Structure 1
Amino acid sequence: MPYSFGARLIEERDRLGLTQGDICESTGINRKTQFAYERDHRYPDAGYLMTLLKHGFDVSYMLSGERPPRYGTVHEALLCNVLVAVDTELSRAGRSLDAARKAKLVALLYQTSSETGQVDPIVAQKAIDLLS
């Protein structure tokens, strides 16, 4: 993990496939200023950071050096119930899905079920029916 703000700024810029010029164009700063930010000679203001945030930069990581868990914690029992519901409804519908589509379906149902902690079989059925 990069230890300085500037190093994390470069890391995020590289992750997004952007150049210094791209950032300068988006934020309205000049290359000299961008270079100073990346070398920890200066630190940006909130307006600059807000613009980066709008362009997909993980500003929280840039400031703290810590990335939060991508999707939070996983409740294993709920995940198991979601998998059972998906398999049950796919079988009922006589359908099969490739791994990528099944993973997206499981993720969607997990997210919708996480508020209540319960899998709604009707939601699972309708989600699978939408795939038809």
Structure 2
Amino acid sequence: MSSVWCVQIGVCTCLIALMWWIMVHVCAPCKIFLGAQMSIGQRLREERERLGMSQERFAAVGGVQKRAQINYEAGDRAPDALYLEGIALLGVNVLYVVTGKREEQPAPSITADEQLLLESYREASPTLRKAALAALLSGSSAGHNGQSVVGDNAIQIGTMSGKARIKNK
């Protein structure tokens, strides 16, 4: 009985070792899960592939040769600030490449007029909001077929041929 027990333990140990080897050497997400963070080169390659670019094209945008890009991704060299500035123009998350931490991208900035409009809209009553939308939609024919209706079962505000109208049901 003890020899059977030893064989079972040996088989289990081999299976566990094999599973560990697969996770560490094959599965990149598992490496992150296990605490082994990706290198700068790996994150750089991930960003390049996310953008669907070849090493040669990506390198050119960063102002380097393809061989330098290969060295960066292999971890043999570290990119400099000018290279990172260049690839940032492509939409590469440079903070992620360098630190491994992703931050939410800030919303595009809006003008003071747009901010005032947004704040006023948020403070307005539902009826006033609908009227404001109708007025804005009636003034802009881009993308509209001449008819826009905003409302609910009680009030409908819309435009017909560029003229705003309010209809109470």
Q: 1:47 aligns with which of 71, 82, 86?
A: 82
Shift of 1:13: 0.4
Q: Is the 8 A contact 2:60 2:66 kept in 1?
A: no
Name the structure where strand makes up a greater proportion of residues. 2
What is the alpha-carbon distance in structure 2 between the residues aligned to residue 60 and residue 119 of structure 1? 34
What is the alpha-carbon distance in structure 2 between the residues aligned to residue 121 and residue 63 of structure 1? 45
Say if 1:50 and 1:31 are closer, same or farther in 2 by CA, change over 3 A: same
Q: 2:60 aligns with which of 17, 25, 30?
A: 25
Say if 1:31 and 1:129 are closer, same or farther in 2 by CA, change over 3 A: same
- Cα deviation per residue 1:50-108 (whole Å; 9 max; x = unaligned)? 00111110000001101114569xxxxxxxxxxxxxxxxxxxxxxxxxxxxxxxxxxx9
Q: 1:121 aligns with which of 119, 124, 142?
A: 124
**TM-score, with structure 1 as normaliser:** 0.56
Alignment match, 1:8: 43
- Mark the runs of 5 or more structure 2 residues left unpaired by the alignment: 1-31, 108-113, 138-147, 149-169
Say if 1:124 and 1:49 are closer, same or farther in 2 by CA, change over 3 A: farther
Say if 1:67 and 1:24 are closer, same or farther in 2 by CA, change over 3 A: same
What is the alpha-carbon distance in structure 2 between the residues aligned to residue 128 and residue 65 of structure 1? 46
> How many residue pairs align between the two structures?
92
- Mark the runs of 5 or more structure 1 residues left unpaired by the alignment: 73-107
What is the alpha-carbon distance in structure 2 between the residues aligned to residue 5 and residue 25 of structure 1? 19
Name the structure where helix makes up a greater proportion of residues. 1
1:65 correspondence with 2:65: no
**TM-score, with structure 2 as normaliser:** 0.45
Shift of 1:124: 5.0
Higher relative contact order (CA 8 A, sep 6+): 1
